[in-house]
Amino acid sequence: MKQPILLPSDERIRIKDFDPDYTGNYKDKDEAKAELEKNIARMAELQEVLYAEGKHALLIVLQAMDAGGKDGVIRNVMSGINPQGCRVTSFKAPTPEELSHDFLWRIHAHVPPKGYIGVFNRSHYEDVLIVRVHNLVPEAVWKKRYEHINNFEKLLADSGVTILKFFLHISQDEQKERLQKRLEDKTKNWKFNPGDLKERARWDEYMRAYEDAINECNTSWAPWHVVPANKKWYRNLVVSERLVEVLESLDMKYPPAPEGIEEVVIE
Ligand code: ATP
Ligand code: MG
């Protein structure tokens, strides 16, 4: 059975119905390699038109459990992109100043302007994920946030920002293996954060929080995608495919040449 990446807008999804090991019609990394390279090259072309035309912005929201592959997607899928036209923002626990504002204040400031691609490594969704799991605000407060998020994303969409949200879906076993590697591999030790184990222990609560966030905020103007992410190569392929598809659908054009350009002679 084919597994949807883009979710049905009219029915509630359950995360456990999605297989994190799914790889579609592909058997292994080698089979997918050419396709991924093609997508990366195509993205580079499309980004240039996005920048030149200056009419649209693209916002990519990446959410996942620890070791879920957010960094890997940025490193691989975005590797062909001109750094001048791309901004990556990693959202950590809010500072006291950020906490003294509404939860979207710090987010809004990092939304890409027209002509740019913005990548959120974690995002405003943390405010209905970790915040909910750890009761950092009362339930009555986080429950209202789904509506605030939908309205905020609608404002952005109406202002020329195309929003794509990806949940990189790994299994609990796969996370264990990846965290274990961070313990064993000297070059990965720096990535090991003992705090990740505390979050891992609350896996089921996180899955419930993700499920609600995805269902409550899967809108036509800012759709969620559940990406099978146990296999890194398939995860990268899926995200790159979707980015190419959506950038192409914007039907962008290079701006017209300055008038009289045909007569210009360079001595
Ligand atoms: P990596 O571990 O790959 O470097 P990371 O995104 O996990 O990347 P960390 O510095 O380890 O980065 O963790 C950031 C932490 O900040 C996460 O645990 C995340 O849940 C937390 N965080 C982000 N936004 C909020 C928020 N609004 N409220 C509370 N905690 C938040
Ligand atoms: Mg971390």
Phi, psi dihedral angles at 176 (to 5 degrees)? -55, -45
Say yes or no: CB of residue 131 within 6 Å of ligand 1: yes
Measured from the alpha carbon of residue 126, the closest ligand is 1
pLDDT score recorded for residue 8: 87
Residue 161, H or E segment: strand 161-169
pLDDT digits (tens, 9 = 90+) for 57-87: 999 999 999 999 999 999 999 999 999 999 9
pLDDT digits (tens, 9 = 90+) for 256-265: 999 999 999 9
CATH 1.20.1260.10 applies to domain 15-253: no
Report the residue among 62, 63, 75, 92 best suited for mutation to probe ligand 1: largest number of ligand atoms under 8 A from its CB.
92
Say yes or no: CB of residue 66 within 6 Å of ligand 1: yes
When comparing pLDDT for 116 and 2, which is higher? 116
* Residue 215 contacts residue 13 (beta carbons within 8 Å): yes
pTM above 0.95, yes or no: yes
Domain segments of the chain as ranges: 15-253
**What DSSP designation does 261 have?**
G
Measured from the alpha carbon of residue 64, the closest ligand is 1
